[in-house]
Amino acid sequence: MNVVLSETDAMRRALGLALQGPRSGVNPQVGCVILSPAGELLAEGWHHGAGTPHAEIEALTRLAEQGGSAEGATAVVTLEPCNHHGRTGPCSLALIEAGIARVVYAVADPGVRSAGGGERMREAGVRVEHGLEAPAVEEAIRPWLTSVRLGRPFVTVKWASSLDGRAAAADGSSRWITGPEARADVHLRRSEADVIAVGTGTVLADDPALTARAATGDDTTGSSTPAGTGTDAGTHTDTPDTLYPHQPAPVVIGERPVPAGSRLHAHPLPLRHFPTHDLHAVLDELYRDEVRSVFVEGGPRLASAFVAAGLADEVLVYLAPTLIGGPRLAVTDLGITRIDDQRRLDIHHLDRLGQDLRIIARLRDEATPGSAESSAPSKE
């Protein structure tokens, strides 16, 4: 029996498909579901990564392989079909040529070159609506949308601390503040980022590997706060079976040189060192090199600098139920002298990982252009 879907259910299905694609990289996660005029599921697809067919193309290809036709059908897509020639052709044109009669998408494409697919299809006689399930899609692909809208990578600033805000004991030791569940989560999140960034102080103090490693059951596989400033120093040697398939490229920010014997030189990807304190310049260059997400992991000075500069799109904190005291704070000077100037955040997620808490928060005054699309479909 054929599966019949409402357009809302089709959009939710398309979003689930989209999230099967890679979270990292220059391309967004996109899903597409094609429905017959009666609402029957004809075909579906999602984007598998740079250089592969876009979601709409994959869905159309699968439909053709099944001997079906898109004539008169409706395409339900999480993101506005693109309107430019990149590694692949414009999806808006492919939908038009396939005979699609109606397109429903959730969120407009914010790209300067890729936007305009909705208008192109409307001019060709396709009925176009947007906004269906927009809040859910916005949240799901928020890093990519934010990056393209702002013209710089999406920045996650991460730290781990005790309940009293310490990232290490007075002697600099911090192995381990958080438990294995939190440490495993850090590595998973590393594997979803394009770049992992630390300061030169962290490199000199910790000699981190900055790889994303799957949990193997022992504490040498990774950490959220090993010795020094809160990255992953230790004696662990990466092997192919412990590394996640996708690795974040290592980036070091700061004027001091990276020692020739640093473990960063053994990272699977080339090390990039920016001998500067100009974070805007660093992000600009990374964005030009198609970096869309940066995971800032160490140390307190670099994390604080990103927050103070207003460049932290998301703050990721692992809070351990322990007290340490002393001077080793997880966050240093933010340039705040009056209580009225404090940086207030909204907590978007609060989870328990073992004995630790994971907090995901965003600056309350954050304003991402174009993020307030209506959740109700609108005709173009």
Rounded CA-CA distance 49/287 in Å is 18
Torsion of Cα atoms, 19 then 20 then 26 then 28, to 10°: -40
- What are the residues whose beta carbons fall under 8 Å from the beta carbon of 357, sequence distance 6 or more? 318, 319, 350, 351
Query: Considering only CA atoms, which of 265, 194, 196 is closest in space to residue 231?
Result: 196
Q: Which residues of 234-272 are buried (b: 16+ CB within 10 A; e: fewer)?
A: bebebeeebbeebbbbbbbbbeeebeeebbbeebeeebb
The catalytic residue among 56, 80, 129, 297 is 56
Under 8 Å between Cβ of 336 and 309: no
Q: Mark whether 129 is an active-site residue.
A: no
| Element containing residue 75 per DSSP (H, E) | strand 74-79
- Number of C-beta neighbours around residue 339 at 10 A: 6
Rounded CA-CA distance 29/8 in Å is 18
Give the active site residues: 56
